Amino acid sequence: MRKHLKQLLYILLVIGLSVIFFNPLTTFAETVIIDADDLLVRGGPGTSYEPIGHVNTGDVFTIEATESPWLQITYNNTTGWVHEDYVTISTEPLLDQSEDEGESETPTDPPTQSYPYETRISLPVVHVRQEASLTSEIIFKLNKNDHVTIKNEQGDWYQVELDDATGYIKKQVLDFTLTKPVGQSPLLNKTIVIDPGHGGIDVGAISLNDEFESQFAMQTGRVLERYLDRQGANVVFTRDDDYYYSLTSRATLSNYLQADMFLSLHYNSEPAYPSASGINTYYREPGFQALAETVHASLLAETSANDRGVASGNYSVLRNNRRPGLLLELGFLSNQTEEQRIKQASYHEKLAKGITNGLIDYFDMR
Ligand SMILES: [Zn+2]
């Protein structure tokens, strides 16, 4: 009888500890990205447990439980534990889980990413594997700031192009690019109105290859939406399609929603000066000059574009707007080199990242 009582107490203790360690209040599934090569995975939370295998830099797992300083992961269909000193913990939701939420996404939306596009590695080391599997052989290692061309996607993996081979990188590793995870972002729950300039019969500037500013502005808007979405912002478009909406109605939407930010996206053209290039950032009220300077600096840092400066501009979408706002001229369609850049998906990624990081900096300061 005493023995049974002891067993019962032990079971209660285990349940109690489980409640403490398996915190049910966690909003996002936490992801762990391995920072070391040949890191041992153990059968339990301590060095006294048998090693059951190893993981490598860039491998990504969902944290099933924590028992500080040990993290439980699912490894080869069993339970394994890794030490937290050798990993990066991210509160970014795993991509397949965010897809499961579903309700905020319009299912009819076409995929916004077109391939191929070039991106930059933001982690110290990223493994490229022969096949789209964590157990597949590592054929190449990419380092921070290396450029890589993404050819396509395959499930949870990106197919990437190397010198004379094709390899695979786990999606979460490449998407781990922004400075703040979702739960802590100052953009969380901010209403951000994206205004892709022009539209419909108003095509805006026309590029050297007869493409329209209105379409490039929409392309940037779509990528920016993805970046802002990942920060937990509520993104609203002034136009969702290739149709002309009056400038007044765009500003009115921003006022009506009491937007935290209004961003009008444009591309420039100066056919008489084909060498003109770079980015301008315009604000209206003097109170938004700091906002303009912050976003402008971040845009230049990401794109290395020519700095055309920050200025006050008397634009209708800003003049009729009572909310914080900017009008961004993101490059010259009349400049041959810049037009080629604007046609690449990677440029829109850089712009979106620059704007997003600029907004994070701005809201962080307030
Ligand atoms: Zn324009």
Q: Where are the beta strands (DSSP E) in the chain?
A: 31-34, 39-42, 51-55, 60-62, 65-67, 70-75, 78-83, 87-90, 117-120, 125-129, 138-143, 147-154, 157-161, 166-170, 191-196, 234-237, 261-268, 279-283, 307-312, 325-332
What pLDDT, on the 0 to 100 scale, is given for residue 211? 96
- 133 CA from centroid of ligand 1 (Å): 45
Confidence band (pLDDT; 50, 70, 90) for 185? confident
pLDDT digits (tens, 9 = 90+) for 195-227: 999 999 999 999 999 999 999 999 999 999 999
- For the ranges 10-24, 61-75, 90-104, 144-158, the lowest mean pLDDT is seen at 90-104
Distance 198 CA to ligand 1 centre (A): 6
Structure tokens, 56: 């490598």
Q: pLDDT (tens digit, 9 = 90+) per residue, 98-124?
A: 333 333 333 333 345 577 777 767 666
Q: 42 C-alpha to center of ligand 1: Å?
A: 58
- Alpha helices (H) along 81-191: 95-101, 171-175
219-253 pLDDT tens trace: 999 999 999 988 889 999 999 899 999 999 999 99
Ligand 1 centre from 218 Cα, in Å?
11
Distance, CA 202 to ligand 1 centroid (Å)?
Answer: 9
- Using alpha carbons only, give the angle 30, 34, 128 rounded to the nearest 5 degrees: 115
Span from the CA of 264 to the centroid of ligand 1 (angstroms):
9
E strands in 294-339: 307-312, 325-332
How many residues does the structure list for the chain? Answer: 366
Residue 26 β-bridge partners? none
Nearest Cα neighbor of 186 from 226, 243, 233, 122 is: 233
The two three-digit tokens of residue 244, written as one number: 């002309």
pLDDT at 242: 92
Under DSSP, the state recorded for 93 is P
The answer to whether the CB of 160 falls within 8 A of the CB of 148 is yes
The Cβ-side half-sphere exposure at 194, using a 13 Å CA radius, reads: 24
Question: How far away, in angstroms, is 269 Cα from ligand 1 center?
Answer: 9
The model's pTM is 0.55
254 Cα to the center of ligand 1, angstroms: 18
Task: Give the model's confidence band at 167: pLDDT under 50 very low, under 70 low, under 90 confident, else very high.
Answer: very high
Report the separation in Å between the CA atom of 106 and the middle of ligand 1, taken as the mean of its atom positions.
28
Please tell me which of 61-75, 167-181, 329-343 the model is most confident about, judged by mean pLDDT.
329-343
User: Poorest-confidence range of 32-41, 99-108, 168-177, 265-274?
Assistant: 99-108
pLDDT value at position 104? 37
- Residue with the bigger pLDDT between 267 and 58: it is 267
Note the pLDDT of residue 24.
38
pLDDT of residue 154: 87
- Centre of ligand 1 from the C-alpha of residue 334, in Å: 13
CA of 273 to the centre of ligand 1 (A): 17
Work out the pLDDT band at 25, boundaries 50, 70, 90: very low
Cα(112) to centroid of ligand 1, in Å? 22
How far is the centre of ligand 1, averaged over its atoms, from the C-alpha of 220 (Å)?
Answer: 13
pLDDT beyond 90 at 256: yes
Q: How far apart are alpha carbons 280 and 103 in whole angstroms?
A: 37
Cα(95) to centroid(ligand 1), Å: 34
Query: What is the pLDDT at residue 28?
Result: 44
Q: What is the pLDDT of residue 12?
A: 55
Q: How far is the CA of 15 from the centre of ligand 1 (A)?
A: 62
Tell me the CA–centroid distance for residue 132 and ligand 1, in Å: 42
| Span from the CA of 312 to the centroid of ligand 1 (angstroms) | 16
Tokens encoding 356: 């997003």
Q: How far apart are CA 178 and CA 92, in angstroms?
A: 10
Q: CA 366 to CA 261: how far, in whole Å?
A: 14
Q: In the β-sheet with 157-161, what is the strand arrangement from edge to edge? A: 117-120, 147-154, 157-161, 166-170, 125-129, 138-143
39, two tokens: 């890191």
Distance, CA 245 to ligand 1 centroid (Å)? 13
User: Are 188 and 363 contacting, i.e. CB atoms less than 8 angstroms apart?
Assistant: no
